[in-house]
């Protein structure tokens, strides 16, 4: 019989998936065909050509290979995998965490575990060569009730998400709200936000302070104004001289392609420096005007229009109480 393997496991994490790819590469080098059979239907939808481990004809396979993740007897009880169906196969466990002592339960003919009561091994994903890609920060707001029907924030978010999805970039969500995750990690702070943005390659945002903090961090930003006709995001981009800002309804795929290429150029770096030089003079003027306003004499506080003269009111009250005129 020609050798053929069934590869099964959780494959829920990127690490699981890399371990699967390592085993697939080994089998490709050995010219041994295989099918991939994730436990979960949701994962089977993501891996094209994969099969249901409970629905396959076990007699089509000579090898059952269980890859990565925790392995325990309840896998059978939960109907994720029926080892008994594959008694005729060589059953191999690789990169597994064996929960129970092997003396109590070990269904494998060959066990090359990641960890068990007898041994600890490095994770198989160390063998996979993983490339790095640009990291995109996503800083969004979903609702601004003050704008009423002018809100198009859902459109701006859709444009941002499509941009990231179509390019497959790494993405980190960045929230500027003070209360973000406050119960778990403490309140958000300007330093936290700026430090995270500074480690991005590019920021996509529909928030004014997303735009502001990107320029402060020296990171190029594509800003989308989610208010119909434009409002504070557009106004801020105009004030600081940042060109990569568009109304959400005008952010065409062609413009986004251009904006992406421009943001990774030397011209973008020069423009960020130009924006920073442009920012200070008007802000110093505002500081001067504010301090001048605070230096003015305090206005006398007028009585409310319907208030009586205090002296007259006191005299009237005395005459009623003590009979004095």
Integer Cα distance of 191 and 279 in angstroms: 20
Q: Where in the chain is the domain with CATH 3.40.50.2000?
A: 135-282
135-282 sits in which CATH class? Answer: alpha beta
Instruction: Give the per-residue pLDDT at 318.
Output: 46
Q: Which fold has domain 5-127?
A: Rossmann fold (3.40.50)
Comparing CA positions, the residue from 35, 14, 13 lying closest to residue 24 is 35
pLDDT digit string (tens) for the chain, length 325 residues:
799 999 999 999 999 999 999 999 999 999 999 999 999 999 999 999 999 999 999 999 999 999 999 998 887 667 678 888 899 999 999 999 999 999 999 999 999 999 999 999 999 999 999 999 999 999 999 888 888 888 889 999 999 999 999 998 999 999 999 888 888 888 889 999 999 999 999 999 999 999 999 999 999 999 999 999 999 999 999 999 999 999 999 999 999 999 999 999 999 999 999 999 999 999 999 999 999 999 988 877 666 655 555 445 445 444 544 454 4
Comparing CA positions, the residue from 23, 268, 189 lying closest to residue 197 is 189
State CA 30 to chain mean position distance. 39
Comparing CA positions, the residue from 10, 11, 4 lying closest to residue 81 is 10
Burial class (CB within 10 angstroms; exposed 0-12, middle 13-18, buried 19+) of 281:
exposed
**Three-state secondary structure readout of 204-265:** EECCHHHHHHHHHHCCCEEEEECECCCCHHHHHHHHHCCCCEEEHHHCCHHHHHHHHHHHCC
pLDDT 10s digits, 150-203: 888 999 999 999 999 999 899 999 999 988 888 888 888 999 999 999 999 999
Instruction: Give the per-residue pLDDT at 320.
Output: 46
Instruction: Give the per-residue pLDDT at 51.
Output: 96
Residues 93/110, Cβ–Cβ less than 8 Å = yes
Question: What's the whole-model pTM score?
Answer: 0.80
């Amino acid at each position: 019989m020609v050798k053929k393997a069934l590869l099964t496991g959780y494959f829920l994490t990127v690490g699981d998936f890399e371990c699967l790819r390592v085993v697939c590469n080994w089998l490709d080098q050995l010219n041994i065909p295989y099918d991939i059979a994730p436990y979960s239907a949701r994962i089977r939808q993501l891996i094209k050509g994969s099969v249901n481990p409970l629905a396959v004809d076990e007699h089509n396979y000579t090898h059952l290979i269980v890859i990565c993740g925790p392995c325990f007897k309840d896998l059978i009880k939960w109907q994720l995998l029926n080892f008994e169906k594959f008694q005729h196969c060589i059953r191999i466990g690789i990169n597994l965490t064996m929960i129970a002592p092997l003396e109590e339960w070990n269904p494998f003919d060959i066990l090359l575990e990641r960890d068990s009561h007898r041994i600890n091994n490095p994770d198989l994903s160390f063998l996979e060569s993983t490339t790095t890609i640009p990291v995109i920060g996503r800083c969004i707001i979903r609702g601004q009730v003050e704008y009423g029907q002018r809100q198009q924030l859902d459109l701006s978010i859709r444009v941002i998400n499509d941009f990231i999805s179509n390019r497959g970039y790494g993405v980190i969500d960045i929230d500027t709200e003070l209360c973000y995750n406050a119960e778990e990690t403490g309140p958000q702070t300007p330093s936290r936000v700026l430090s995270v943005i500074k480690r991005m390659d590019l920021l996509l945002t529909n928030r004014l302070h997303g735009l502001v903090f990107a320029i402060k961090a020296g990171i190029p930003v594509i800003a989308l104004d989610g208010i119909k006709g434009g409002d504070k995001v557009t106004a801020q981009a105009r004030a600081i001289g940042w060109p990569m800002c568009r109304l959400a309804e005008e952010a065409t795929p062609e413009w986004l392609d251009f904006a992406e290429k421009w943001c990774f150029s030397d011209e973008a770096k020069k423009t960020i420096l130009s924006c920073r030089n442009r920012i200070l003079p008007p802000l110093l003027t505002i500081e001067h005007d504010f301090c001048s306003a605070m230096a003015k004499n305090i206005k006398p506080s007028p009585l409310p229009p319907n208030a009586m003269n205090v002296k007259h009111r006191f005299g009237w009250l005395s005459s009623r109480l003590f009979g004095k005129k």
